[in-house]
Amino acid sequence: MKELNCDFHIVGSALTGLLTAYSLQKQGYEIIISEKKLFNLRAVLKDSRTTAVAEGSKVYLDQIGLWKKLKPFAEPIKLIEVIDQTAKSKIKFNNFIKNTNLGYIIKNSILINILLNDLKQKKNVKFLFQTEIKRISYNKSKIVSHSKGFKVSSNLLIASDGKQSSVRKIMKTKRFVKKYNEKAIVINFCHKKPHNNVAYEFFYKSGPLAILPMQKEKNSFQSALIWSNKAKIIDFFNSSKINQEYIIEILNEKLSSNIGKVKKINSKQTFPLSAHINERFYEERLVYVGDAAHSIHPIAGQGWNLGIRDIRSLSNLIKKNADMKKNLDAKKLCKSYNDECYFDAYRLYQITDKLDWAFKKNQTHFRFLRSIGFSIINKNPSIKKRIVNFAMGI
């Protein structure tokens, strides 16, 4: 068995794991990234899903020198229109701060490719693919992960291995799970009218539908749609038996007045909807980041941004402990990380869950209360500003 040593062992090579490595390697630490799957660059580059990057996240990405590489591929969101079931209640959220945007939309494939290419050139970063952790133990001042063929000793193990975290299962860290018994479909498509950098959020009794502006490709206007609904309806739309023209007709019925007729569907993917939050975000010499710690309903598009805030907090805490290599107070570091991040995640976990619940209610009194709420927000710039700043993460 090959024995390896590092400062930080990051488990999981998806977006959160790669960004964690990118952030920490800049401080000069030795990092090992392990991934149980065999990496397939061709499959990554075909991934057409998009990620919403909030302005606050963009500021952090700029601080660590990554945004300048992402900026050419990011489409800004300059206006968000929120529309309730009847289309009579609307709110337009504008940006109140000059030289900033409400957010940005970028393809996952571009994010991953840029991060990977950069990290593979770093001498202090090593990748271990097809390496699944089977057991975790402790040896004096180290945490040790055991897998077939490798034993990795590190000062700190960072679990970024997603909702179904294998590290969390090994450590038996408890979590609270909310299953929505629904699915979401993500469709990237071309349309006739320019989107003018406007994002739309429609709230139907069946679930929210968001349209997000993407960059043009081959002179075609592009957007991404994320639609939550009952699992059987989403499966119906994703079925290979359904004619693409039929789906386009349905989309045109809902979207044509906003962005023109849908010309072509480029891709569609589905995923089940659930949310969770760990009982805590740490164990001894171990922290959970991103979806390994928490996941939320996609109603507000804040999932990855919440993970970025985890990374920022962890990176800043490590930076404060500059002599970490020689004298790591792991217990204090992990507890401080938990204290900084837990409330933020729990708050968004609850907010997104309750928003989904409230907007699905179709009874007369609920519609009446929502219309009053929309009217109050529309007439009060101060409330609007607070909501915008919260969504932007600033």
Could you read off the pLDDT of 176-224 as tens digits, one per residue?
A: 999 998 999 999 999 999 999 999 998 888 888 999 999 998 889 999 9
State the pTM of this model: 0.92
Question: Locate tokens 């171990």: which residue?
Answer: 286
**pLDDT given at position 21:** 97
Query: How far is the C-alpha of 106 from the C-alpha of 111, rounded, in Å?
Result: 7
Please report, as a single letter, which amino acid is at residue 24. Answer: L
Average pLDDT in the 51-68 region? 95
The answer on pLDDT for 44 being more than 70 is: no
What percent of the chain is predicted at pLDDT more than 70?
95
Q: What is the DSSP string of 85-112?
A: TTSS-EEEEE--STT--SEEEEEHHHHH
Residues 6+ apart with CB under 8 A from 320: none
What token pair was written down for 302? 């804040």
Query: How far is the C-alpha of 45 from the C-alpha of 43, rounded, in Å?
Result: 5
Query: How far is the C-alpha of 172 from the C-alpha of 272, rounded, in Å?
Result: 24
Could you read off the pLDDT of 226-274 as tens digits, one per residue?
A: 999 999 989 988 887 788 888 899 888 888 888 999 999 988 889 999 9
Could you read off the pLDDT of 297-348 as tens digits, one per residue?
A: 988 888 899 999 999 999 999 988 765 555 667 888 999 999 999 999 999 9
Query: Helix count (H) and strand count (E) of the chain?
Result: 12, 19
What is the Cβ-side half-sphere exposure of residue 110, based on CA atoms within 13 angstroms? 19
Query: How far is the C-alpha of 211 from the C-alpha of 18, rounded, in Å?
Result: 27
**pLDDT given at position 322:** 62
Quick count: other Cβ atoms within 10 Å of Cβ 78?
A: 16
DSSP state of 39: P
The answer on pLDDT for 90 being more than 60 is: yes
Give the CA angle between residues 104, 373, 257 to the nearest 5°. Answer: 50
DSSP state of 298: G
The answer on pLDDT for 22 being more than 60 is: yes
Query: How far is the C-alpha of 24 from the C-alpha of 239, rounded, in Å?
Result: 42
Cβ–Cβ < 8 Å for 105, 49 = no
Query: How far is the C-alpha of 234 from the C-alpha of 261, rounded, in Å?
Result: 21
